[in-house]
Structure 1
Amino acid sequence: MFNLANPPEGFTENPFPHYDDLLQNSPVTPQPDGSFLITKHADLNAIYRDTTLYISDKKQAFAPKFGAGTPLFEHHTTSLVFNDPPLHTRVRRIMTSALTPKALARMEPGLIDTVDTLLDEMPQSPDLIEDFASTIPIQIIGNLLDIPMSERGPLRDWSLAILGALEPVLSDAQLAAGHTAVQEFKAYLQDLIARRRAAPGDPDTDVLTRLIAGDDTGQLTEIELIQNCIFILNAGHETTTNLIGSGLALLHDHPDQKALLLNDMSLIDTAVEEVLRLRSPNQFGNRETTAEVAFGGYTIPSGANLHLCIGAANRDPDVFKDPARFDITRKPNRHLAFAGGPHVCVGLTLARMEGRIAIARFLRRNRDYALSDDRISGGRIRFHGYTSLPATL
């Protein structure tokens, strides 16, 4: 039986055949630790929309994983993604108010400038992750929080270490790195917040100023404020990096689809959606049951942890025709890459905009780019993408 904590060799590089097998033969799979792996699109969709039977709070699951009261425990039990109302509602309202269509329209010229500058400076033989995909979200999120350019250097490493701690199994070194990253990031943000309190920014464009001010329901505590600033970086960094990197890899590996897009760049929006479906940057979500439920012939007890396999649900043949095929014209495309229900990704419009602009502007300049055989996968279970994508332009 498939064990997420001890997956088959090669799973992190290519989990998709295993997902197809689970969908066909074991859509609900009990795990040795008492949790359950869920793969069907309809099941995930129902779970995401029911906030009574399925909660996001992870204090019970994360206490043994990280140690109660540790830096990682404090972060992952305070950030938006692993919380339920009322904290989730308060923080999400503030973030959403800072990411309105008007605000995103104001951000677009800066995003285009960032992408074009990276393309201007790109070497002839770049690493499309290091030199392009990973740099874009760091700069955009840095702009959202108005972090000075000279202070953005550690952001990527902090994010990778903190998100890496969400893997099903951790080494002592990974755990230590995650704790250290939270402590260092927290210390930096305490200083940045103090500076911003002394000199507030424009609340229409500066998310940190908006988070500090709060709304008519009140203000966030200092810990809530700090940990959700860390969440903003983490939620938008590795996932967007993976979206851009996987998009460029898929288009390279499917020259017919690349030619189709180059011939009609109006397809860029549906192309981005297909990348999100077929190579979901975030492969797994989690929920915890609040009462006994029945799924796939199993009775799942109250308090059970559910692993929601987004990567499998987005290949469900009950929803997607020829699901293993990369089709940039696919419509409809009801993927769950951004989850669903009240916890649907608050930054989904920004992520789509970053993917659309980055991929389209790269292709216009580099129609015939070639990827080497030395590409390196991200090596993670929860997140899917590349850590290195060497290319020749």
Structure 2
Amino acid sequence: MSVSTPAMTPERAREIATDLDLRALPADFYANPYPVYAWLREHEPVRRMPDGSYFLTRYADIVAVYRDAQTFSSDKKVEFTPKYGAGSPLLAHHTTSLVFNDPPLHTRVRKLIMGALTRRAIADMEPGLITLVDGLLDALAAQGGGDLIEDFASAIPVEIIGNLLGVPHANRRPLRDWSLAILGALEPRLTPEQEALGNRSVSEFTTYLTTLVAERRQHPGDPEHDVLTRLIQGENRDSPEGLVAGEQLSETELLQNCVFILNAGHETTTNLIGNALVALQEWPQAKAQLLSKVKLSSQPGHGLEADLTVEIDEFLRFESSNQLSNRRAIKACQVGGVDLPEGTLLTLCIGAANRDPAQFAHPEQLDLARENNRHLAFGFGIHQCAGLSLARLEGRIAVGRFLQRFPDYVLSAAPTRGGRARFRGFLKAPFSIA
């Protein structure tokens, strides 16, 4: 079947934009938010929201905020405490994880994670990743199709992160559901059902991790590849003098940042792969262009995946997996010519910045040959995604090898959007092999 993003008239985009409230978004915004973003960029790029926060849509303004970590904090305790409630599992998680903290905790955790995601370590993952992807493709071929998300895109990051943390295969089944529930609780509008599920998922996951951590302390893995072992042992694990105060994570910091590692690498990578394969159905010329490249590089051992970096970055720009980010002004400042008092909460609209015509030529077009693509899908500055190289590798291998095996795949039913403002992707995308 043919696929197309639902159109939105300029009048409707203006109507939504002028009454924008992230806690009460209409269905057509979730289906296609980009016309609303475009109206805001042109008319109210620093938009004051009903709750007193500000919504930023220009690339230059968002980069300026990302650059200035001295003025704009990532710490979310002020915002999350009333949202989740003191003592709740969701509050404990989201205020302890890497992404919602400033230095020094952010610096310590990021350094430990990056130490296990070196260029060599990621290169060592490639053969296993290819084996994983090819096994999934074999299963899809045997049944004549399946679901791009459930049977393919979502299975890849869960296995990769399971390997990074050393989660036994038999225990990986709940990981995806836990992640979806915990990240779902980050949406601007939180229903009681989402809150209850999110709290239960944090509790179940940390309970499981407590046992896993205890086992890993008894039987450490290779800290060059095992992120959990590296987090347990701390920065100076090889120092003959031993660790000094502050170089190891507390038990709470350790558990919550293991939860973060799953969340950060799971849904965003799932969305990257799923968004890319659905977008190619809507942009047949881009698909034909990519297929030509795939066919030229189809011989075994040719290294196809390394050739698709430009294309993967364009998919990330065009349909950013993570659409929204947040900061808090810790002192009075100015953004985009607007004076902001101390304590102002900011929503940085990555999806809008990545389609800003001031930064990208023909931004509404999927251009798989786009050069100098400085998209913000991985963030920017000190909080730039620690796993970006791994995400690119997963995207290259997944998309490239899928197209090698199924060049004529077609969607057999309309894909189902996830219905989220912060994370943009699909829950289902049934396809058949033509």
Quickly name the TM-score band, shorter chain normalised.
over 0.9
- 1:367 corresponds to: 407
Aligned to 1:354, the other structure's residue is in SS state helix
* Correspondence for 1:329: 369
Q: Spell out, residue by residue over 1:92-120, the C-alpha distance to the aligned partner (whole angstroms, 9 max, x if none).
A: 00000100001001111111111000001
What residue is the counterpart of 2:226 in the other structure?
206
Q: Which moved more, 1:246-255 or 1:70-79?
A: 246-255
What SS does structure 1 have at the residue aligned with 2:136? helix
Report the Cα distance in structure 1 between the residues aligned to 2:88 and 2:206, rounded to whole angstroms: 13
Quick one: which of 374, 385, 388 aligns to 2:425? 385
CA distance in 1, matches of 2:73, 2:198: 24
**Structure 1 residues 193-229: Cα deviation after superposition (integer angstroms, max 9, x where no partner):** 0011111111111110010000135210000000000
- Alpha carbons 1:134, 1:238 under 8 Å: kept: yes
Query: Who is 1:291 aligned against?
Result: 331
Match of 1:75 in 2: 93
Contact kept, 8 Å, 2:157 with 2:266, in 1: the verdict is yes
Give the RMSD, CA atoms, in angstroms.
1.0
Q: Separation in 1 of the partners of 2:26 and 2:202?
A: 31
Identical columns (%): 55
CA distance in 2, matches of 1:199, 1:253: 49
Give the aligned partner of residue 237 of structure 1.
Answer: 266
Q: What is the CA-CA distance between 1:367 and the residue it aligns to?
A: 0.5
- Partner of 2:13 in structure 1? none
Q: In the alignment, is the contact (CA less than 8 A) between 2:181 and 2:197 conserved in 1?
A: yes
Residue 327 of structure 2 aligns to a residue in which SS?
strand
Q: Partner of 2:119 in structure 1? A: 101
Residues 257-290 of structure 1, C-alpha deviation per residue, up to 9 Å, x if partnerless? Answer: 1111111246521110111001000000000001
Residue 62 of structure 1 contacts residue 68 of structure 1 at CA under 8 Å; is this kept in 2? Answer: no
Task: Determine if contact 1:251/1:258 at 8 Å carries over to the other structure.
Answer: yes
- Verify the 8 A CA contact 2:327 2:345 in the aligned structure 1: yes
Aligned residue for 1:10, secondary structure, equals: helix
Matched letter for residue 315 of structure 2: V
Matched residue, 2:176: 156
SS at match of 2:339: strand
Deviation for aligned residue 1:294: 1.9
Distance 2:278 2:181 in 1: 24
1:268 and 2:308 aligned: yes
Query: Which amino acid counterpart does residue 38 of structure 2 have in structure 1?
Result: D
1:41 maps to which residue? 59
Report which of the two structures shows the higher radius of gyration computed on alpha carbons: 2
Structure 2 unaligned blocks of 5 or more: 1-17, 237-245, 295-303
Superposed, 1:284-363 pairs within 5 Å as 284-363=324-403
**1:274-317 superposed Cα distances (whole Å, 9 cap, x missing partner):** 11001000000000001112233432111111000000000000
- Amino acid in the other structure paired with 2:284: P
1:315/1:323 contact within 8 Å kept: yes
Q: Does 1:25 align with 2:43?
A: yes
The answer as to 2:251 corresponding to 1:222 is yes
User: Counterpart of 1:136?
Assistant: 156
1:142 and 1:91 map into 2 onto residues whose CA distance is 19
15-24 or 3-12, which deviates more? 3-12
Alignment pair present for 1:63 and 2:112: no
Report the counterpart of residue 171 of structure 1 in structure 2.
191
What's the TM-score, normalizing by structure 1?
0.98
> Distance between the aligned counterparts of 1:48 and 1:295, measured in 2?
12
Unaligned runs of at least 5 residues, structure 1? none
Q: TM-score, normalised by structure 2?
A: 0.89
Pick the aligned partner of 1:125 from 145, 155, 159: 145
Please list the CA deviations of residues 136-183 of structure 1 after superposition, one character each: whole Å capped at 9, or x if unmatched. Answer: 000000000010000001000000000000000111000000000000
Task: Say whether the 8 Å CA contact 2:320–2:350 is kept in structure 1.
Answer: yes
Indicate the SS of the match to 1:285: strand
1:108-119 to structure 2, matched below 5 A, reads: 108-119=126-137
Moved more, 40-49 or 222-231: 40-49
Mark the CA change 1:373 to 1:24 in structure 2 (over 3 Å): closer, same or farther: farther
Task: Report SS of the residue matched to 1:239.
Answer: helix
Contact residue 325 and residue 350 of structure 2 kept, 8 A: yes
Contact 2:22 2:189 in 1 (8 A): no
Q: d(CA) in 1 for partners of 2:412 and 2:338? A: 46
Q: Tell me which amino acid in the other structure corresponds to 2:111.
A: R
- 1:141 partner amino acid: I
C-alpha distance in 2, partners of 1:369/1:9? 28
Q: For 1:230 and 1:8, locate their aligned partners in 2 and report how far apart those are by CA, in whole Å.
A: 31
CA distance in 1, matches of 2:66, 2:27: 30
CA distance in 2, matches of 1:176, 1:385: 23
Give the SS at the match of 2:379: coil
Q: CA deviation at 1:80?
A: 0.1
Aligned-partner Cα distance in 2 for 1:379–1:199: 42
SS in 1 for 2:27: coil
